Chain A
Amino acid sequence: MNRLPAPFLFLVLMVISCQGLLAADLDALPEFLRSDPFGAIVAPDRGAANLSSSLYGTQHRIMLTGCRGGYVSFQLVVKLPSPSDYTVDVAIPDRTNKVQIDLFREWFHFTDSDRRYYPDALIPVHGTYSSHLPEPDNRIRQQTAQAFWVDVYIAPDTRPGILSGRAQLKAGAKITILPIQLTVLASIIPGEDVVTIDHNSYGSSWLAQQFATSYQHNPDHWFESEQFFRLIHAYHRLFYEHRGIFHQLGYGHSGKVAPEFAPLLEGSGRAKHITSWSLYDRHYGPLFDGMAFSASRRGSRPIPFVYLPINPEWPASYEFWGEAGYEAEFVNVVSQIERHFREKGWTHTNFEVFFNHKKRYKGFPWDGDEVRFPEDLKYFLEYGRLLKKALPADTPVRFVFRADVSWDMEQQFKMLEGVVQLWCASGGILSFYKDAPKMLRKRGDVIWYYGGPPRVTDSSAAITELPLRAWLWGVNGFVHWLTVSPGEDPWFHFNGGQTALVYSGERFGLNEPIPSIRLKIQRDCLQDLVLLDSFKGDKSLDSLRAGAARKYNDSTPDDWWNPRPALADLPSDRWLGSAIDDATKHTRQALRDPGASGWYNVHQYALSLQAEAK
């Protein structure tokens, strides 16, 4: 029997062992098509699979186009049919450093509801990323694909023109290169958004849970530590960088105020006063003077809105409600607050007097949030009076009375005119009152509507519906009611993310939050909205809105409103929750789910208008 020569055998073995690597591939996908860990597009995005080649130009080149002062995003997918080490990096060399690349590894969350994997959390990668597939920490045994999110930041002062770059994958001896061409347009995305997107949260105990290692190092003093305040500022910064704002409510439904959300009080009755601003100023000082954002690309800017700790039990004790002592405590302490803010020069932030409590939580006998029973409005009127008494008429400090409204909003718009200036309205019920946003804005009020983030199991572009609706309706903003609560185990048993748009980075050695794909898509949508709105000098706002609605899901702006139902003429305490659902049926039927391609079409529309304007 002839024996094979050793060199030949070695070659054969090499070929066999490299077969997997020879099939190694690097693919580029638009931001709206999410890959699963096996290289397929996730089911909710498959309807837009025709977009998969939309990034590529001739010679398999990734073609990117973006305005200045914003981001262009896409995804890279490394595909390795067999377990192997690999290295990936992306570069668009720019000697002026005006164009910068942010690379993120996408975490594949296992969702219990449908037992599938979806990418969402984005782990920052600095420079080249080297790892192994299956990714050790993601623990998906059969994983053959790893997705990366690529943000290309184009500074406002970048020179318009074309830049070249490449994405590169090294797996074994094989190198795969995707050339990139970035066209920087002359247009600059305005820095001021047309829609404020708020990311809400409650208290700060969740931070100790999500950053447990950090907390365990210093459990007795963690909530007063520099690390703690840096972490809070990091949350603000992350949302700010994504064109959003962040709210943390600092008190509970019975009026308990966590120490970092309020100055320290002493005394009772006319002797009640503030004794220390120490924790409050460490918490909020860098947010109110903007220094917390000094290292961000958007620059230092004071946060535009913040909750005050004011509630029925703070600063005045509810023990004295309706008595002279209550008024003395409230007026004296709120006056002290105003003076402190004025002396500090904190005159750019809107300080919200907001009542979040509900009587069902048994702390107080009236609903501060979502008033249903009209007799509760007398409390609002009384607080309006007290506030007026506490504040100098010519104060430069912006105190605003905020009300979150649903059932009784139409009555409240009338009865609380001149008392409440910031309205946060249930989207479903506001949809009955088409004239309300215009009426409220005309008298100088701010109107937002509220809802929550979509699940990761919805289409990638589902989140764009929320800011788009705000812009089509002509309201000032949208509030995600909870955005920092990803559940007990978002990594391996995810609940879908309806209360989270960011995640703790602690698992990845980061003492800060990390973003999500949904947050990135929302930011890119906000860029497009502000760009679209900037064309209203050339076209009417109505025609711009009509164009965007048509591109989004073939709707008209009117389709986004519901007809005023008969129940709107009944006292709100006679409404039924199920009847509200029935009354919002029209929009549910008229608005087609645009799938993952909805926002892609609006983006293209914005770019076409930009080209026309040029």
Chain B
Amino acid sequence: MKILPLIASLTFAILATANLSLKEEGPAEMQLELDSLARVGSVMVDGDVCQKIVTERAKQFLFASDPRDEFLAGDNYDVDDAAFNSVKKTLIRLSHLAPFPADVNLWMPIEGHRGKIHLVIRNKNEMSQFWNWGELYGDMAPQMESVLKTGQRITVTSKPGWISVLAPVYNSLGDVVGLIEAVSRVNVDAHENVK
């Protein structure tokens, strides 16, 4: 008779372990999918076109400030729509490679402003592990700096439940001119960033 509780306990332990490993497999599978997507993206996204997106005017005003005009930088933010559309369409198509909701965002360093980076294209799930909503530019995360320097993909899971894979974007000279962030969340929030 005493063996029954033992069997029950063992069964429970096996099931619990199995359940745990399933839970862990979810994010791990997502990570693999995003990595694969980012790898493809790294060769598909055209760095030369990316470099044409943000206009000279927008770059000139990016860090401008005027106490009488708090929106000076944002009001002068402009892009070349043909270049933007071309790259955005590629990013959207890349996101279809993931069997779950994912975004592929384009980030680019800012010439003359070491340590700063800006998001250039976002997508429809409005997901990013790095973008603080509304900001024109921000401090470059060390992982981003590493991708830009080494050309190596990096997976970032700093925020609980979030997975981003950062991958380099090259231009025709072979320079790393930006990076893509292939990103998703274990639990997608249908209402986040609808604002």
Establish whether residues B78 and A205, one from each chain, have CB atoms under 8 Å apart when the complex forms: no
**How far, in whole Å, are A494 and B190 apart by their CA atoms in the complex?**
29
Q: Tell whether A208 is near chain B: CB-to-CB under 8 Å.
A: yes
Shortest Cβ distance from B39 into chain A, in angstroms?
A: 21
Q: Tell whether A490 is near chain B: CB-to-CB under 8 Å.
A: no
Shortest Cβ distance from A261 into chain B, in angstroms?
A: 8
Establish whether residues A362 and B75, one from each chain, have CB atoms under 8 Å apart when the complex forms: no
Establish whether residues B79 and A576, one from each chain, have CB atoms under 8 Å apart when the complex forms: no
Contacts of A203 in B (CB 8 A): 191, 194-195
Given contacts A204-B191, A319-B92, contact A578 B75 (CB under 8 A): no
**Residue of chain B at shortest CB distance from A356:** B195
Establish whether residues B194 and A256, one from each chain, have CB atoms under 8 Å apart when the complex forms: yes
Shortest Cβ distance from B176 into chain A, in angstroms?
A: 20
Instruction: Return the contact of B75 from the options A319, A322, A361, A372 (Cβ within 8 A).
Output: A372
Given contacts A361-B122, A578-B66, contact A252 B194 (CB under 8 A): yes
Shortest Cβ distance from A295 into chain B, in angstroms?
A: 28
Q: Tell whether A250 is near chain B: CB-to-CB under 8 Å.
A: yes
Give B35-89 interface residues, CB cut-off 8 Å to A. 66, 68-72, 74-75, 77-81, 84-85, 88-89
Contacts of A253 in B (CB 8 A): 122, 126, 193, 195
Q: Tell whether A373 is near chain B: CB-to-CB under 8 Å.
A: yes
**How far, in whole Å, are A253 and B193 apart by their CA atoms in the complex?**
8
Establish whether residues A365 and B81, one from each chain, have CB atoms under 8 Å apart when the complex forms: yes
Contacts of A581 in B (CB 8 A): 68-69
Q: Tell whether A600 is near chain B: CB-to-CB under 8 Å.
A: no
**How far, in whole Å, are A255 and B194 apart by their CA atoms in the complex?**
8
Give A175-219 interface residues, CB cut-off 8 Å to B. 202-205, 208
Establish whether residues A360 and B191, one from each chain, have CB atoms under 8 Å apart when the complex forms: no
Q: Tell whether B119 is near chain A: CB-to-CB under 8 Å.
A: yes
Q: Tell whether A317 is near chain B: CB-to-CB under 8 Å.
A: yes
Q: Tell whether A509 is near chain B: CB-to-CB under 8 Å.
A: no
Contacts of A322 in B (CB 8 A): 85
Give B134-150 interface residues, CB cut-off 8 Å to A. 134, 136
Shortest Cβ distance from B107 into chain A, in angstroms?
A: 10
Establish whether residues B124 and A318, one from each chain, have CB atoms under 8 Å apart when the complex forms: yes
Establish whether residues B92 and A318, one from each chain, have CB atoms under 8 Å apart when the complex forms: yes
**How far, in whole Å, are A223 and B189 apart by their CA atoms in the complex?**
11
* Chain A interface residue number, banded: 35 or more
Give A308-344 interface residues, CB cut-off 8 Å to B. 313, 317-319, 321-322
Q: Tell whether A577 is near chain B: CB-to-CB under 8 Å.
A: yes
Q: How many interface contacts (CB-CB < 8 Å) are there between A and B? A: 98
Establish whether residues B122 and A362, one from each chain, have CB atoms under 8 Å apart when the complex forms: yes
Q: Tell whether A259 is near chain B: CB-to-CB under 8 Å.
A: yes
**Residue of chain B at shortest CB distance from A577:** B69
Contacts of A165 in B (CB 8 A): none
Establish whether residues B92 and A363, one from each chain, have CB atoms under 8 Å apart when the complex forms: no
Give A252-272 interface residues, CB cut-off 8 Å to B. 252-259, 261
**How far, in whole Å, are A256 and B124 apart by their CA atoms in the complex?**
5
Shortest Cβ distance from A463 into chain B, in angstroms?
A: 24
Contacts of A317 in B (CB 8 A): 92
Establish whether residues B119 and A319, one from each chain, have CB atoms under 8 Å apart when the complex forms: no
Establish whether residues A255 and B195, one from each chain, have CB atoms under 8 Å apart when the complex forms: no
Shortest Cβ distance from B66 into chain A, in angstroms?
A: 6
Could you mark each residue 237-255 of chain A with 1 if its beta carbon is under 8 Å from any beta carbon of chain B, else 0? 0000000000001111111
Q: Tell whether B192 is near chain A: CB-to-CB under 8 Å.
A: yes
Shortest Cβ distance from A484 into chain B, in angstroms?
A: 12
- Give the one of A313, A360, A373 with max B CB within 10 A: A360
Shortest Cβ distance from A206 into chain B, in angstroms?
A: 8
Q: Tell whether A588 is near chain B: CB-to-CB under 8 Å.
A: no
**How far, in whole Å, are A254 and B78 apart by their CA atoms in the complex?**
16
Contacts of B74 in A (CB 8 A): 358, 360
Given contacts A313-B124, A361-B134, contact A578 B69 (CB under 8 A): yes
**How far, in whole Å, are A363 and B85 apart by their CA atoms in the complex?**
10
Q: Tell whether A359 is near chain B: CB-to-CB under 8 Å.
A: yes
Contacts of A313 in B (CB 8 A): 124
Q: Tell whether B121 is near chain A: CB-to-CB under 8 Å.
A: yes
Given contacts A319-B92, A577-B72, contact A255 B124 (CB under 8 A): yes
**How far, in whole Å, are A321 and B122 apart by their CA atoms in the complex?**
16
Give B110-124 interface residues, CB cut-off 8 Å to A. 119-124
Q: Tell whether A471 is near chain B: CB-to-CB under 8 Å.
A: no
Instruction: Return the contact of A205 from the options B66, B123, B191 (Cβ within 8 A).
Output: B191
Q: Tell whether B129 is near chain A: CB-to-CB under 8 Å.
A: no
Establish whether residues B194 and A360, one from each chain, have CB atoms under 8 Å apart when the complex forms: no
Establish whether residues A362 and B195, one from each chain, have CB atoms under 8 Å apart when the complex forms: no
Instruction: Return the contact of A365 from the options B71, B84, B195 (Cβ within 8 A).
Output: B84
* 26 residue pairs from A and B, CB less than 8 Å apart: A203-B194, A205-B192, A205-B194, A249-B194, A252-B195, A253-B126, A255-B124, A256-B125, A256-B126, A258-B191, A261-B194, A313-B124, A318-B88, A318-B89, A321-B85, A321-B89, A360-B77, A362-B122, A363-B122, A363-B124, A365-B81, A366-B81, A373-B78, A375-B81, A577-B75, A581-B69
Q: Which 5 A-B pairs have the closest CB atoms?
A: A203-B194, A365-B84, A577-B69, A365-B81, A578-B68
Q: Besides A223-B190, A258-B194, A372-B75, 15 other CB < 8 A contacts?
A: A202-B195, A203-B191, A203-B194, A203-B195, A205-B191, A249-B194, A253-B195, A254-B125, A254-B193, A256-B125, A258-B191, A364-B84, A373-B78, A577-B71, A581-B68
